[in-house]
Structure 1
Amino acid sequence: MYFHQTGIRKIYQESSMEFIKIRLTNDVDRMGSKFEKTLAEMFNTMNPLFSFAKNSWKPALDIFETPDEILITVEIPGVDKEDLELEINTRAIRISGKRIPSPAADKGRYRLAEIQYGVFERILRLPVLIDPENVTASFKKGLLQIQLKKLTRETSYKIPISDE
């Protein structure tokens, strides 16, 4: 019996040591990848490439609710009104557009590039049903403001059932 317990203890210790080795290796790998990421970010800020990939940035927004409406304010400075698109139904709103980078000076290079350019899209599920025919939007000083009137009651329809 004593040999059996000692053997189990030895197996447990060996498996624990293996776990420690694996975990240490994973930690070292993680540190290496963080270092590589930091190094890549440092060089990318020196010589940025503007990406126009889908959802390359995500504008900040606020959603405010009153008893009668939902108010959405989207912060999108540098975006032209012509580059914006709104789609809406009773339960959700899709806000999309693009911010185009200004041409860089001929003689020079970026030392820091933090402003995000390219295509963006926000799809928001609304907390209440809204009336899609009673929506207004305005764009001024880099802020898109959307007013969505709430539905006072949900409309239901009777559907006739045929014999066929």
Structure 2
Amino acid sequence: MAKYRDVIGGCLFFIFAAVYYNMAFGIRQFAAGSGMVDSQFMPKVYGIILMILSAIQVLQGVYHIKKGETEADEGSGLTVAEQIFSFITSFLLLIIYVALLDSVGFIIMSALFITCMTMLLSTKEQRSGKKLMKVVAISVAFSVVVYLIFVQGFGLTLPDGILVF
């Protein structure tokens, strides 16, 4: 069963991506700028990218099975309990992000979410004060740049929250 892990996971994720893509058509349209980019544009792009990546994962899994390779990777080095903890924590962080996005704001919540996820997914050896400062700086810069691109460039509205511009 372990040798089919990539194929099964890729198929399940492809189904998820297809449902996500289909649901993007239900988003109310707000045109921005030239009319090509609207509120459905990025979710559709994400859905297509997820489906492509899922298909690649399935094809790689089939290739490894046909080649006779068993476990292609040595794993993450985490115990099952640590993997479950990481999985549950990731979803909790995502729920908190979405729940507080309107009241706190896109820039602050995105920077906090990126920082927390990066530190959660880093190995124990990679977690240090110096690394944390780099992660915070990059996540804040990324959040501000994305905010400016969508608000100033595309004319879309993102939650300001407690930061009023």
Q: Same fold (TM over 0.5)?
A: no
TM-score, with normalisation over the residues of structure 2? 0.22
Bigger Rg over Cα: 1
Normalized per residue, which structure has more helix? 2
TM-score, with normalisation over the residues of structure 1? 0.23
Normalized per residue, which structure has more strand? 1
